[in-house]
Amino acid sequence: MSDVLYFNGRFTTTDERVLRVEDRGFLFGDAVYEVFKFLRKRPVFLGDHWRRLSNGLTAIDIRNPWTEESFASSMRELLDRTSFEDGIVYIEVSRGEGPRAHFYADDMTPTAVAFSRAYNFPDAAKKERGIRLITDADLRWKHCDVKSVNLLPNALSKKKAQRSGGDEVLLIDRDIVRECGSSSFFIVKNGRVITHPLDCHILPGVTRDRVIALARDLVDEREIHAAELDDADEIFITSTTLGVMPVNQIDDKAKRTRGPITAELQRRLDEEESRA
């Protein structure tokens, strides 16, 4: 089925082939992306996603095709044209199209695409039951804080996890637990909510940020050692599509199903999302 597609300032559908083979997003992975959720056609935390997109473009020296206002109005129009109420919008901005060469021109016109997709968000039973993580080595580049489209290590690790019966991969860098293949990672120990600090090793998750704000003075942002996974009281991950999702197993070790802090953070995030 075709979806509504925004392409460089105009609207079409995903049936139209819009990209050229020499787009640097395709040839070099020279692009950043963003994903936001919408409920009843209302975007959730759009301002946060805009800020991360802008920061990513600045970090890799791509001209931003939007202002905050033109971005918000393009996304509103995309949702107006969308035939379903709830889903996600995928946005990608590449450096643009030009003769294939590592040296890029300084004045390239970025390629901007965005499309809406229906999405099966986890239901209440799944949010209570939780999911299983499989650990793998973190083989990503040294700027995981940029939401670049270079997701080959993430995709390969996630597939490996899936083949071992997992729902998501937990990326471990020697002894340090970084984050998951497409979600942020938290443990709860002695009433403290612990997650990796913001630096170049993890993506600044929009949901991570919201959850930290909701948990307020319970939070410690510090590196987590792999051995700490064994005696954590609660473990959960966060993302735009999963919200707050409890972890019930890591590799072959069963973990407590949803604990009280995880449940409370789920409740508060759901409330905030429905107000967005």
Taking the complex as a whole, the smallest distance from the CB of residue 10 to ligand PLP amounts, in Å, to 27
Q: Pick one of 116, 195, 239, 266: the residue that binds ligand PLP (CB under 6 A).
A: 239
Residue list 160-179, contact with ligand PLP (CB under 6 A) = 179
Options 147, 158, 160, 253, the catalytic residue: 147
Residue list 29-58, contact with ligand PLP (CB under 6 A) = none
Q: Based on the shown chain and the rule CB under 6 A, indicate whether residue 240 belongs to the binding site for ligand PLP.
A: yes
Amino acid making up residue 271: E
Number of shown-chain residues binding ligand PLP (CB under 6 A): 12
Nearer to ligand PLP, 44 or 96 (CB): 44
- Whether 147 is a known active-site residue: answer yes
Q: Based on the shown chain and the rule CB under 6 A, indicate whether residue 82 belongs to the binding site for ligand PLP.
A: no
Our measurement of the distance from residue 268's CA atom to the centroid of its chain's CA atoms, rounded to an integer in Å, reads 20
Nearer to ligand PLP, 164 or 241 (CB): 241
Residue list 179-218, contact with ligand PLP (CB under 6 A) = 179, 182-184, 203, 205-208
Q: What residues make contact with ligand PLP under the rule CB under 6 A?
A: 179, 182-184, 203, 205-208, 238-240
Give the active site residues.
147
